[in-house]
Amino acid sequence: MMDASDNQIDGLRLLLSGKLMEGADTVDVENPSTNTLLAKAPQASHAQLDNAIAAATRVSDWKQDDALRRATLRAMSEIMSANRDSLALTLSLEIGLPFKVAQDEISASATFLLYRAETEAPLDVLHDDARQRVEVVRKPIGVVGAIIPWNAPMLIACEKIATAFAVGNTVVMKPSPLAPLTLLQFGELVSDAVPPGVLSILPGGAELGAALVAHPQVGMISFTGSIRAGQAIMVNAAPGLKRLSLELGGNDAAIVLPDADIDSVAPRLFMGAFYRSGQVCAAIKRLYVHRDIAASLIEALRNVAETAVLGDPFDPAVTFGPLSNRQQFEIVKGLVDTAVSQGGSVATGGSPLNRPGNFFPPTLVTDVDESNPLVQQEQFGPALPILSYDSIDDAVDRANSTQFGLGGSVWTSDVDAGTAVVRRIQSGSVWVNRHGLVLPDTPFGGMKLSGLGRANGNVGFDSYAELQTVSVAKPREAKSR
């Protein structure tokens, strides 16, 4: 078993323009497995934020030096890979991920950095003939303010850093005060590999985030988090017409067609809903099952759920750790309790474990409809409402009758039929016989209130760039007499 006492997480410092320094204050970070103090993390002051932004603005060679940017991203990726277990240990301690899952997040984060080190921003040539050359190039915006959530801090941070750097931007990052430790450790590890001014990592609360958004020298805000917070960012960013990339909440629907192979799809549906205890923006959060197979699929899902092992994230036998913080634990518990009080039935789970920590088992809830808060809201935890339907048109209408539009999926033995149905789902990403797969080369983002812009792939460059049209008239040859 991994020994969590091996990690030194006290004394972490801010990364500010290439220098490691103490914060102006501290915040208590709890261990979600025990609800006891894990560490006191530094918090940045407004003056430190101003200094970081000023330093990021002064950087000049970075914008033009593509080779330097690639080398920096490659070096950061190598450092992450070399320190995978240490970073994963911190990640497990502060957000409760099973250690193996935390290792996977660190490896995926390194992959995102390496992907951008090895890809080029698109160059669109619209005309190139005897008369003219017209092309569209991607230019850096300047300083990108990156605001990171608590649920997958390392992966989301690296996705933002990688694309911002690849275009030529600098980054001032604000981790969540609920999960700052892994990013602070990352900052210490890469401090010598990143040119001064290019990256600062400054944890803080809502006031610091608001100051970052409103700062006149910040040209773009890249945010992952709730719809409400995203709306507030749009308001605060409006005076400066800042560029925005917003990946906001999701309430992803999965539709299981009547021809689905229950034994095959049940384990994959379960992981689509409950991976990382459901604390994933693109997790399955509503499950629509054809009435003919609903009872059989619920039984199959219950059988999978009852194999789950909750406990110490560093025990290799454990498959699910605690919810990442007490606030989210109370939200999930409240939604399940309300569902039951309004007539819902719990097929499995439903109650917290009788032990310290934020442990809530995978929970299946039936006998609810669209009016129930567990269906209406983004639960962001291990509680899945299961709803039956009679016609595919009805299932699609119900899946789309929401303000959310992040992801959706269809499950079937007929891939062509599933593809036809999934195209009708109003979400930024849709899948057939899978859910939530996000890759560095695949655009990802939301429709409706689930966000603006797209991350990843070539499309992702455009969210972090100003598009400039370059039109050149070519000299005409003199007419011969």
The catalytic residues are 247, 281
| Residues 285, 379 contacting (CB under 8 angstroms) | yes
Which of 206, 212, 204 has its CA nearest to residue 172? 212
In this structure, are strands 243-247 and 451-452 parallel, antiparallel, or unpaired? antiparallel
Query: What are the beta bridge partners of residue 31?
Result: 36
Instruction: List Cβ neighbours of 82 (8 Å cut-off, separation of 6 or more).
Output: none
CA 358/CA 284 separation, integer angstroms = 21
CA 176/CA 415 separation, integer angstroms = 40
For residue 397, give the DSSP letter.
Answer: H
CA 433/CA 246 separation, integer angstroms = 27
User: What count of other Cβ atoms lies within 10 Å of the Cβ of residue 345?
Assistant: 14
Which of 307, 294, 309 has its CA nearest to residue 345? 294
Q: Can you read off the two tokens belonging to residue 417?
A: 């039929």
| Residues 363, 357 contacting (CB under 8 angstroms) | no
* Whole-number Cα distances in Å, 145 to 53, 97, 157, 210, 246: 9, 27, 11, 11, 12
CA 281/CA 261 separation, integer angstroms = 26
